[in-house]
């Protein structure tokens, strides 16, 4: 990777397994590490802090949010560290913003951080207000958008989120980094928005986001 090129590395669905994180190329040199959710397996602040400290030692520029498998209290820890992007927007460069929405809609597994779809829609709008003035946008949505490949189950059912889909259709962020559905590793498009689900980190998937000229590019990569 060119030393002059701005780039970010994104992944999620850690589920307490960081065994491959040291093998991600150029992770230490990235302008930021973006974590889309599910840091723990129903864990709280102590477990999340232990895991994120591993990432911090490699690269301290962390942008993270909880997933449905993380306890809600972890959001306050991420806020205290200055890492939280859930329901927030942050400026990465003069022209690039990042925003996130964690949690998920209800699942059959009664996980710790589940909310109605309408709440996710509120959080999306809340985060967007802080970055809507920027020409380029990265959306980090733990719940993948409905209808996208990122939400396809192996036997054909699509379990994506309609509020995330509606937001992407309306706002058209450059990139949507998502996860949650481990079996749905994919690249897809909704309009001009590239939607990427790298699957579980322990399976080797991650996303490389690069600024090429004045345009954001993203690709699904494997260790």
Q: What is the pLDDT of residues 34-54, one digit of tens each?
A: 999 999 999 999 999 999 999
| Alpha-carbon gap, residue 193 to 172, rounded angstroms | 6
Q: What does the block give as tokens for 169?
A: 């259709």
For the purposes of burial, counting CB atoms within 10 Å of the CB of 49, is it exposed (0-12), middle (13-18) or buried (19 or more)? middle
Q: What is the pLDDT of residues 163-206, one digit of tens each?
A: 999 999 999 999 999 999 999 999 999 999 999 999 999 999 99
Q: What percent of the chain has pLDDT over 70?
A: 99
Give 3's pLDDT tier (boundaries 50, 70, 90). low
* Residue ranges of domains in the chain: 7-222
- What are the backbone angles phi and psi of residue 134, rounded to the nearest 5°? -90, 140
| Alpha-carbon gap, residue 159 to 150, rounded angstroms | 9
The gap between the terminal CA atoms of the chain, to the nearest Å, is: 15
User: pTM of the entire structure?
Assistant: 0.97
Give the SS3 label for residue 143: coil
| Residue 85 confidence (pLDDT) | 99
Contact of 179 with 149, CB cutoff 8 Å: no
- Which of 1-5, 147-151, 152-156, 219-223 is predicted with the least confidence, judged by mean pLDDT? 1-5
Give 32's pLDDT tier (boundaries 50, 70, 90). very high
Q: What is the mean pLDDT of residues 132-153?
A: 98
Give 1's pLDDT tier (boundaries 50, 70, 90). low
Give 134's pLDDT tier (boundaries 50, 70, 90). very high
Other CB atoms within 10 Å distance of the CB of residue 206: 26
DSSP state letters, 90-134: EESSSSEEEEEE-BBS--TT--SSB--HHHHHHHHHHHHHTTTTS
Q: What is the mean pLDDT of residues 45-71?
A: 98
- Token match 């779809």: residue? 117
Superfamily for the 7-222 domain: Metallo-dependent phosphatases (3.60.21.10)
């Amino acid at each position: 990777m060119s030393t002059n090129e701005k780039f970010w590395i994104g992944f999620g669905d850690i589920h307490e397994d960081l065994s491959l994180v040291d093998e991600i190329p150029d992770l230490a040199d990235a302008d930021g590490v973006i974590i889309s959710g599910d840091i723990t397996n129903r864990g709280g602040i102590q477990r999340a802090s232990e895991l994120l400290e591993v990432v911090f030692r490699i690269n301290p520029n962390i942008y993270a949010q909880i997933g449905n498998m993380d306890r809600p209290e972890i959001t306050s820890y991420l806020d205290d560290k200055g890492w939280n992007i859930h329901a927030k927007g942050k400026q990465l460069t003069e022209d690039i913003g990042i925003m996130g929405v964690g949690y998920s809609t209800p699942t059959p597994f009664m996980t710790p951080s589940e909310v109605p779809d309408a709440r996710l829609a509120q959080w999306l709008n809340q985060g967007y207000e802080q970055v809507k003035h920027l020409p380029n946008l990265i959306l980090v949505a733990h719940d993948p958008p409905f209808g996208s490949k990122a939400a396809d189950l192996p036997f054909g059912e699509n379990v994506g989120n309609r509020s995330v889909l509606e937001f992407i259709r309306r706002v058209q962020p450059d990139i949507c980094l998502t996860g949650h559905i481990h079996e749905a590793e994919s690249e897809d498009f909704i309009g001009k928005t590239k939607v990427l689900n790298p699957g579980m980190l322990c399976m080797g998937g991650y996303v490389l986001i690069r600024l090429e000229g004045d345009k954001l590019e993203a690709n699904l990569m494997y260790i």
